[in-house]
Amino acid sequence: MINGPETSSPALLPMGFVDLLPAEAEAEARGLAEVMEVFSCHGYERVRPPLLEFEGSLLSGAGEALADQSFRLLDPASHRMMALRPDMTTQIARIAAVRMQDCPRPLRLSYAGDCVVIGTPGREGQRQIAQAGIELIGPDKAEADAEVIALGAEALARLGIANVSFDLSMPVMVWSLIDGSFSGIERESIIHALDRRDAAAVREYGGAWAELLLGMMEAVGPAASALEKLEKLDFPAMLKPHVARLRADVAAILARLPGARLTVDPVDFRGWRYHTGVCVTVFAMHSREELGRGGRYLAGDEPACGLTLNPQAFLRVAAKPKRRKRCLVPSVMVQKDLSSLHEAGYATIASLGLSGEMEQEAHHLRCSHIWKDGKPVALAR
Amino acid sequence: MINGPETSSPALLPMGFVDLLPAEAEAEARGLAEVMEVFSCHGYERVRPPLLEFEGSLLSGAGEALADQSFRLLDPASHRMMALRPDMTTQIARIAAVRMQDCPRPLRLSYAGDCVVIGTPGREGQRQIAQAGIELIGPDKAEADAEVIALGAEALARLGIANVSFDLSMPVMVWSLIDGSFSGIERESIIHALDRRDAAAVREYGGAWAELLLGMMEAVGPAASALEKLEKLDFPAMLKPHVARLRADVAAILARLPGARLTVDPVDFRGWRYHTGVCVTVFAMHSREELGRGGRYLAGDEPACGLTLNPQAFLRVAAKPKRRKRCLVPSVMVQKDLSSLHEAGYATIASLGLSGEMEQEAHHLRCSHIWKDGKPVALAR
């Protein structure tokens, strides 16, 4: 293992941008490949949009929410502004709506790539964010929501991450109450109160919806009990379909993933502005690290549901991949012998005859084996 | 096959940036994975530098030659200028010199990622360029040059590209003649003359080196005959080691790759400004498409030799990967059955019960099979 710590030297790299050294880089690449393979097995076809686009297309629709987070660049060819993508969902929606408009629905697409965000000056996290995700475009059904969530779980399980929980929410419920009944300072006050889960403030600023909002706040918890509590609340007619859909989503997820750990938070609404239905955040059970997020939205004018996994997060909790044993070999060797070593799980390190004796060179180059008399021989430690 | 043409709509994307649709995106990802696996088998360990860095580190040293081609961005956190990487070699050199300075040499590193160049306004080619490559850092030997070139050939062969040729050059020879003997307008004239392979102009502007340069021009061709012609030329002492090294490189490459198609062009010098030894361009034999390039340079103050393959180019000539058969299945199905279908090479497409009968839905979704009575059944066409 030759990797150092994952943190980068601030003198060398801008904050939030890091080098991944061999162990991490290999783990990230293998993790991405495993996850994409799971998606492929379920008929999700990979698309690869570019790293940057005109800001007009990249930061419109669902992308508008991330406009403040996007680096802009002038295109000297067109004299138009471009933006580095802060997220890939808008791009997939564009591809579905334009390039693949004639493909049958449901359209199942997968993607993997890097995104770049500006971050918050003074307290940057990662600013280059790897994403691997899926979008299921066309059907607006609980079974479609459940498929996307179930595949996220399967992808994480493939990486050795079995202990995950799914936090479900339906932010459109809170937003439609707020948008329909509050404005100006009252709107700010109730948003702030809900955001802090401040029951007293919700009672003070919630107006006609205070009781309902407090009831929704109290419902937070495991899916079964949360749904039971929501059942008893007096929702206005416009919200009833959302409550019913949340119930149907939970049932559909449990049908595909018996025993899945589902929690429901009916007042989780911040950071979900363009979503039109169920939203999900995937957490590692023990670390509570966020492994991915997704939800239902409109891709152009088509219903869609997507989920994005964050490889930077999930590789911290996933099982590290096995590395090849290293065998020092002569620099010129017949291909058949090399191939059989590779098939047997060895990496072959060609001796360039630099440090005298081969055994010494093998130790120097962290090799565990040496090619001798036509076979790999383990070195004494 | 649901992919459209690879060209992008200019109204949607900036020139030189494209979407890859399923067939291409899948081919690129699999090709990259295959190539990186070959590198890994030979002990090259993957590193993953960030997409952008401070321009001072990214565009210094070997990166200076690409400064004009780099998009710049202001970092609001540090108020320093950053640049999108136009190439990854400088980054790998930085990682070797700083982050991995204590790792034993030879240091073998591999990388894969996207680079972005400004292009030439009015006649852009691709501006987002995928790279997959290796760097062998430490030894300055013909065997090291040969290893890098041989692995390029092995990686391409893995993709089904066996008919390649390697064009070798030693640009430092021409550059040291020019740098040592010409300046001002005379320098421009001889560079221009050599660049056009204009024998009359080389004779006119070549001064004391005219005969030698003409002899080098005439030597262009298959490696054996080129070396024979070079042997007869009267090189100054400072160039003799380079001629000898070129000969040693050819011998070392042929020892590792018997029968390799090698050509030598001793006056190929443009576009190779920071290289200190042998340079190589890899071509597909029939299309003459450039598949990769590399050469010897200094990584900081360490000798290094690298090779970068261009997936966008090599995927046009490589065998297309096989795609999974598609089997329509119920949306809820036991995991064991799903897994056995995946292992048998099927992608499973969950029926979301949208278009009536399952057989009809299967046709609609381009499925070749349907799950029936506990097994995949081929659909009548």
Same domain, A23 and A146: yes
The whole domain housing B337 covers 326-378
Report d(CA A313, CA A244) in Å as an integer.
33
From residue A14, how far is each of B53, B149, B198 by CA, in Å? 6, 34, 47
- Chain A residue nearest residue B339, CA to CA: A41
Task: Kindly determine whether residue B350 and residue A143, on different chains, have CB atoms separated by under 8 Å.
Answer: yes
pLDDT, residue A48, reads: 97
Dihedral angle computed from the Cα positions of residues B34, B38, B41 and B46, in that order, rounded to the nearest 10 degrees: -80
Task: Kindly determine whether residue B33 and residue A33, on different chains, have CB atoms separated by under 8 Å.
Answer: yes
Task: Kindly determine whether residue B128 and residue A54, on different chains, have CB atoms separated by under 8 Å.
Answer: no
Nearest chain A Cα distance for residue B53, angstroms:
6
- Is residue B154 situated within a structural domain? no
In chain B, residues with a C-beta closer than 8 Å to the C-beta of A75 are 14
Task: Kindly determine whether residue A80 and residue B40, on different chains, have CB atoms separated by under 8 Å.
Answer: no
In chain A, residues with a C-beta closer than 8 Å to the C-beta of B125 are none
- Is residue B64 situated within a structural domain? yes
Task: Kindly determine whether residue A28 and residue B48, on different chains, have CB atoms separated by under 8 Å.
Answer: yes
From residue A5, how far is each of A205, A360, B104 by CA, in Å? 48, 28, 17
Task: Kindly determine whether residue A54 and residue B119, on different chains, have CB atoms separated by under 8 Å.
Answer: no
Task: Kindly determine whether residue A51 and residue B49, on different chains, have CB atoms separated by under 8 Å.
Answer: no
Nearest chain A Cα distance for residue B20, angstroms:
5
Same domain, A229 and A359: no
Same domain, A242 and A334: no
Minimal Cβ distance to A47: which of B21, B33, B45: B21
**What's the CATH code of the domain at A81?**
3.30.930.10
Report d(CA B331, CA B349) in Å as an integer.
8
Most distant CA pair in chain A, distance:
86
Task: Kindly determine whether residue B21 and residue A95, on different chains, have CB atoms separated by under 8 Å.
Answer: yes
Minimal Cβ distance to B18: which of A50, A106, A116: A50
Task: Kindly determine whether residue B43 and residue A349, on different chains, have CB atoms separated by under 8 Å.
Answer: yes
pLDDT, residue B8, reads: 44
In chain B, residues with a C-beta closer than 8 Å to the C-beta of A103 are 2
- A106 preceded by cis ω (within 30°)? yes
Report d(CA A291, CA A145) in Å as an integer.
18
In chain B, residues with a C-beta closer than 8 Å to the C-beta of A4 are 99-100
- Is residue B319 situated within a structural domain? yes
Report d(CA B278, CA B316) in Å as an integer.
27
pLDDT, residue A168, reads: 98
Q: What are the backbone dihedrals phi and psi of residue A97, each rounded to the nearest 5 degrees, phi first?
A: -80, -30
Minimal Cβ distance to B13: which of A50, A84, A141: A50
Same domain, A292 and A150: yes
The predicted-structure confidence for B253-282, as pLDDT tens digits, reads as follows 999 999 999 999 999 988 777 899 999 999
User: Collapsing DSSP states into helix, strand and coil, what is residue A310?
Assistant: coil
Alpha helices in chain A (DSSP H): 22-41, 55-58, 89-94, 142-158, 171-181, 184-195, 199-205, 210-218, 223-231, 240-256, 311-317, 335-343, 358-364
The order of strands in the sheet holding B128-137 is: B45-46, B107-116, B128-137, B302-309, B290-299, B275-284, B164-169, B261-264, B221-222
What the block records as the tokens of A305 is 């549901």
- pLDDT band of residue B123 (cuts 50, 70, 90) is low
From residue B153, how far is each of A218, A228, B108, B190, B303 by CA, in Å? 64, 64, 17, 35, 22
Residue B74 pLDDT exceeds 90: yes
Same domain, B63 and B106: yes
Size of interface A-B (CB pairs under 8 A): 245
ipTM over 0.85: yes
Q: What are the beta bridge partners of residue A4?
A: none
CA angle, B146 then B191 then B172, to 5° = 25
- Is residue B217 situated within a structural domain? yes
- Is residue A197 situated within a structural domain? yes
In chain B, residues with a C-beta closer than 8 Å to the C-beta of A17 are 50-53
Number of domains in chain B: 3
- What's A321's DSSP letter? P
Q: What is the mean pLDDT of residues B93-100?
A: 94
User: Collapsing DSSP states into helix, strand and coil, what is residue A166?
Assistant: strand
From residue B112, how far is each of A121, B36, B43 by CA, in Å? 30, 8, 16
Residue B41 pLDDT exceeds 90: yes
Same domain, B238 and B220: yes
pLDDT, residue A353, reads: 77
Same domain, B343 and B319: no
In chain A, residues with a C-beta closer than 8 Å to the C-beta of B52 are 14, 17, 116, 128
Task: Kindly determine whether residue A43 and residue B326, on different chains, have CB atoms separated by under 8 Å.
Answer: yes
- pLDDT band of residue B2 (cuts 50, 70, 90) is very low
- pLDDT band of residue B311 (cuts 50, 70, 90) is confident
- Is residue A2 situated within a structural domain? no
Report d(CA B132, CA B111) in Å as an integer.
6
- Is residue B155 situated within a structural domain? no
Same domain, A264 and A116: no
- pLDDT band of residue B7 (cuts 50, 70, 90) is very low
Which residue bears the tokens 């707020």?
A: A178
- B106 preceded by cis ω (within 30°)? yes
Instruction: Find which of B26, B32, B37, B45 to mutate to test the A interface (most A CBs within 10 Å of its CB).
Output: B45
- Chain B residue nearest residue A119, CA to CA: B77
Report d(CA A82, CA A101) in Å as an integer.
24
Task: Kindly determine whether residue A352 and residue B139, on different chains, have CB atoms separated by under 8 Å.
Answer: yes
- Cβ partners under 8 Å of residue B309, min gap 6: B35, B131, B132, B133, B152, B155, B156, B282, B291, B292
Instruction: Report the amino acid identity of residue B344.
Output: A
- pLDDT band of residue B306 (cuts 50, 70, 90) is very high
Task: Kindly determine whether residue B46 and residue A26, on different chains, have CB atoms separated by under 8 Å.
Answer: yes
Report d(CA A56, CA A80) in Å as an integer.
9
pLDDT, residue B354, reads: 64
In chain A, residues with a C-beta closer than 8 Å to the C-beta of B51 are 17, 51, 114, 116, 128
pLDDT, averaged in runs of 10, over chain A (381 residues): 40 88 92 95 97 91 83 92 94 94 96 93 80 97 97 94 94 94 95 96 96 97 98 96 98 95 94 88 90 94 95 78 90 92 96 80 94 94 73
- What's A99's DSSP letter? I
Same domain, B318 and B350: no
In three-state form (DSSP H/G/I as H, E/B as E, the rest C), the secondary structure along chain B is: CCCCCCCCCCCCCCCCCCCECHHHHHHHHHHHHHHHHHHHHCCCEECECCCEEEHHHHCCHHHHHHHHHCCEEEECCCCEEEEECCCCHHHHHHHHHHHCCCCCCCEEEEEEEEEECCCCCCCCCCCEEEEEEEEEECCCCHHHHHHHHHHHHHHHHHCCCCCEEEEEECHHHHHHHHHHHCCHHHHHHHHHHHHCCCHHHHHHHCHHHHHHHHHHHHCCEEHHHHHHHHHCCCCCHHHHHHHHHHHHHHHHHHHHCCCCEEEECCCCCCCCCCEEEEEEEEEECCCCCEEEEEEEEEECCEEEEEEEECHHHHHHHCCCCCCCEEEEEECCCCHHHHHHHHHCCEEEEEECCCCCCHHHHHHHCCCCEEEECCEEEECCC
Q: What are the backbone dihedrals phi and psi of residue A294, each rounded to the nearest 5 degrees, phi first?
A: -175, -175
In chain B, residues with a C-beta closer than 8 Å to the C-beta of A135 are none
Nearest chain A Cα distance for residue B209, angstroms:
36
The order of strands in the sheet holding A369-372 is: A346-351, A325-330, A369-372, A375-378
Same domain, B191 and B269: yes
Same domain, A46 and A193: no
Same domain, B11 and B134: yes
Report d(CA B89, CA B113) in Å as an integer.
11
Question: Across all residues in chain B, what is the average pLDDT?
Answer: 91
Nearest CA to B267 among B172, B174, B200, B188?
A: B174
Minimal Cβ distance to A53: which of B14, B121, B143: B14
Are B316 and B346 a contacting pair, CB within 8 Å?
no
- pLDDT band of residue B122 (cuts 50, 70, 90) is low
Task: Kindly determine whether residue A347 and residue B19, on different chains, have CB atoms separated by under 8 Å.
Answer: no
Report d(CA A65, CA A24) in Å as an integer.
31
Q: What are the backbone dihedrals phi and psi of residue B288, each rounded to the nearest 5 degrees, phi first?
A: 60, 20
- Is residue A75 situated within a structural domain? yes
Q: What are the backbone dihedrals phi and psi of residue A329, each rounded to the nearest 5 degrees, phi first?
A: -130, 160
Q: What is the mean pLDDT of residues B64-84?
A: 91
Minimal Cβ distance to A347: which of B22, B41, B53: B41
Instruction: Find which of A82, A99, A123 to mutate to test the B interface (most B CBs within 10 Å of its CB).
Output: A99
Task: Kindly determine whether residue A4 and residue B326, on different chains, have CB atoms separated by under 8 Å.
Answer: no
Q: How many CB atoms lie within 10 A of CB A15?
A: 18
Report d(CA A119, CA A137) in Å as an integer.
30
Q: Are strands A261-264 and A164-169 parallel, antiparallel or unpaired?
A: parallel
pLDDT, residue A274, reads: 83
Report d(CA A190, CA A198) in Å as an integer.
10
- Cβ partners under 8 Å of residue A46, min gap 6: A36, A39, A40, A109, A110, A111, A112, B22, B25, B26, B29
